[in-house]
């Protein structure tokens, strides 16, 4: 089970989970138990950001979104368009909070960047996750390894 400092309980406005061992996120940092411990550190309107790397089909990322949503009710995903479609290996950022996220201005900002990206939320996110179950300590696996050629660009 994930153990995080309790002295910070409820005091953090932003918590970023961007942890890799080599090119993979360790299994124990991908579970309901981990995200529950992390969420206890958040202020009432604090935001958890999770960097999720995944490949074609996004099976790992879809379960990560299901897992975060099991802990925090307001969730969006930010990703480059082709990555979000599951066409190639890439990173998605899951943003979550107990409070509603300020997303009205975000889609325009994401689309205008040098690498156009989008925001998935609401019904689109429901379809992205489907009926996938959240990850628990009992069934956690590390994130997928990227193909070694990915870093040869």
Condensed to tens digits (0 to 9), the pLDDT of residues 90-130 reads 999 999 999 999 888 887 888 787 888 888 999 999 999 99
Is CATH 3.30.70.270 the classification given to domain 15-136? no
Cα dihedral 42, 45, 50, 56, rounded to 10, equals 150
Which residue has better confidence, 16 or 5? 16
pTM: 0.88
């Amino acid at each position: 089970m994930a153990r995080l400092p309790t002295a910070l309980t409820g005091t953090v406005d932003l918590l970023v989970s961007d942890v890799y061992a080599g090119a993979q996120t360790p299994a124990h940092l991908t579970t309901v138990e981990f995200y529950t411990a992390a969420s206890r550190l958040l202020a009432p309107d604090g935001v958890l950001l999770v960097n999720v790397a995944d490949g074609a089909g996004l099976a790992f990322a879809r379960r990560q979104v299901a897992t975060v949503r099991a802990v925090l009710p307001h969730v969006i995903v930010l990703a480059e368009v082709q990555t979000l479609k599951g066409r190639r290996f890439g990173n998605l950022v899951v943003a979550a909070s107990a409070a509603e996220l300020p997303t009205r201005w975000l889609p325009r900002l994401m689309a205008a960047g040098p690498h156009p990206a989008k925001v998935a939320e609401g019904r689109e996110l429901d379809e992205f996750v489907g009926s996938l179950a959240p990850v628990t300590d009992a069934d956690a696996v590390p994130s997928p390894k990227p193909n070694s050629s990915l870093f040869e660009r």
